[in-house]
Every structure is written in C-alpha cells, then in structure tokens.
Amino acid sequence: VFKNNLTFFAAAKVSSSFPPADLPEIAFAGRSNVGKSSLLNALTRRWGVVRTSDKPGLTQTINFFNLGSKLSLVDLPGYGFAYAKEEVKDSWEELVKEYVSTRVGLKRVCLLIDTKWGMKLRDYELINLMERSQTKYQIVLTKTDVVFPIDVARRAMQIEETDEYHCSFLILLISFLIEDDGKLQVWCWHPKPENG
Ligand code: GTP
Ligand code: MG
C-alpha cells in the first residue's frame, strides 16, 4: 500500500513554518541516531527518501512527508546529541517539545528507543510532556538485530515493568534489513503476540 508513495513536502525550523495539518499525522521521536529516519525509509521499503547517517545529529529540522496522500509522517530531530552546540541543541529540543504538545492532527508519536541503551532521562522528559498534553505515544525498540534476542526480551520487559505511564499502544520491536537487491524490509513484532 505504502510502497513508493512517500514524498517530502516541508521542513520547519520554527513552529510558524509548520505546514497546515490537513492529514492525520504520525511522528517519529527519540534520541539522536536511534533510527528515526531509517524507520521512515524502511516503512516505505525504499532507501534514500529520508536522509540517514551513522553520525548523530543529521536531522536538524522537522521534516514532513506525505504518504500516499493519506497520512503525514514526520521525522523529528533527535535529542541528546552530545556534540551539538548548546544553543543548537536547545532550539531543536524546544521545537520538538512544542511540536508534540501542540500539533493539531497528531495521532501518535512513535518514541524510538535503542534496544541496547534503553530509556534515558530525555526520553522520560518527553513522555512526561506527552502525558501532560495527552498526546498518544507508542514505544518502539530499535536496532534489535544488534542485540541478543534474550536482551531484546529483557529490555522490553524492563520498560513494561518500570512504565508507570500510560503508553497508548503496545511496545513494538523493530529492526531493518537491506535485501540483496537493495530493497528495504522492516521487521516488526510485539513482544507479547498473544495480546494482539
Ligand atoms: P538523527 O537524525 O541524528 O536524530 O538520527 P536518526 O534517529 O534519524 O537515525 P538514522 O535513521 O539516521 O540512523 C542512525 C544510524 O543507525 C544509521 O547508521 C543507520 O543505518 C543505523 N540504524 C538505524 N536503524 C537500524 C537498525 O534497525 N539496525 C541497525 N543495525 N542499524 C540501524
Ligand atoms: Mg534523522
């Protein structure tokens, strides 16, 4: 359904340049380098629509993509990027906070967490903000391919057990795979399939 239908339509550095909220919107948030832009690519099974990098701090604006004229997908700049200048870091973080707490039409924030590192202070801060602004969110554990399966399961359980929040949707586990012909696949599953 989604194949080849992702088109970039706006980049914003300040909230006044957010495009009109005409479509239901899903945003991808999380620390720098956690795999937000890669997940967007993988969801459309295309490499390169969204720029990714092995260096943290690549995405520096809020980037809006149109998915088959049905959905708006939003790539947020990452937080917690240790090497960025303080004032730059602050302005990205403020922009992300303003976006998640005020954006009309925002149906869900996928909060990406690196499976290896788990949740950090900044992630909890964002969750607190989303709780206060009643923004729906879902935790997505990324890069599950570089961690032993037992550690993936432990991480998912640890987040569930310590989660005193009201995560609106089940935790998802994901990793992507580049096939021999250059196509992208995203692997995605629930830690507890019996719960649907
Ligand atoms: P910022 O734009 O800096 O906030 O980063 P980002 O969250 O958009 O991360 P990005 O998608 O650019 O990916 C960062 C690095 O992680 C890249 O080198 C990706 O190839 C790698 N990566 C992303 N997802 C996965 C995954 O599922 N598995 C593995 N092994 N690597 C991944
Ligand atoms: Mg990015």
> What backbone torsions phi and psi does residue 23 show, to the nearest 5 degrees?
-115, 155
Half-sphere exposure of 32 (CA within 13 A, CB side): 18
Closest residue by CA, ligand 1 atom 2: 59
Kindly report the CATH class assigned to 6-195. Answer: alpha beta
pLDDT at residue 152, rounded to an integer: 84
Q: Which residue has the tokens 């089940």?
A: 170
Within 6 Å (CB) of ligand 1, which residues are found? 30, 32-38, 52-54, 56-59, 77-78, 142-143, 145-146, 175-176
Ligand 1: atom nearest CA of 41 is 11
Please give the span between the terminal C-alpha atoms of the chain, in angstroms, as a whole number.
22
Q: Quick one: pLDDT at residue 43?
A: 72
| In the predicted structure, residue 189 carries a pLDDT above the cut 70 | no
Tell me what the mean pLDDT of segment 34-38 comes to.
Answer: 87
Q: What is the ipTM of this complex?
A: 0.97
Given a cut of 80, is residue 45 above it in pLDDT?
A: no
- Across the chain, mean pLDDT equals 79
Query: What percentage of the chain carries pLDDT values higher than 70?
Result: 69
Which residue in this structure is represented by tokens 């303003």? 98
pLDDT of residue 193: 46
Widest CA span of the chain, in angstroms? Answer: 46
pLDDT at 97 over 50: yes
Between 111 and 42, name the one with better pLDDT. Answer: 111
Centre of ligand 1 to C-alpha 81, Å, is 13
Say how many CA atoms lie within 13 Å of 37 toward its Cβ: 23
Q: From ligand 1's centre to the CA of 63, what distance in Å?
A: 16
Mean pLDDT on 162-178: 59
**pLDDT band at residue 183 using 50, 70 and 90 as cut-offs:** low
187 or 67, which is more confident?
Answer: 67
Contact 104, 20 (CB under 8 A): no
Q: Which residue has the higher pLDDT, 155 or 46?
A: 155
**CA nearest 33: which of 83, 72, 69?**
83
Per-domain residue ranges for the chain? 6-195
Which residues make Cβ contacts (< 8 Å) with residue 100, sequence separation at least 6? Answer: 27, 29, 106, 109, 126, 129, 130, 133, 135
Per-chain residues with Cβ under 5 A from ion ligand 2: 36-37, 58-59
Planar angle of CA 181, 37, 79, nearest 5 degrees: 150
* Band (1; pLDDT cuts 50, 70, 90): very low
Determine the pLDDT at residue 92. Answer: 76
Q: Does 27 have pLDDT greater than 80?
A: yes
Phi, psi of 131, rounded to the nearest 5 degrees = -60, -45
Cα-based distances in Å from 3 to 21, 43, 67: 23, 8, 9
- Write down the pLDDT at residue 18: 93
pTM above 0.90, yes or no: no
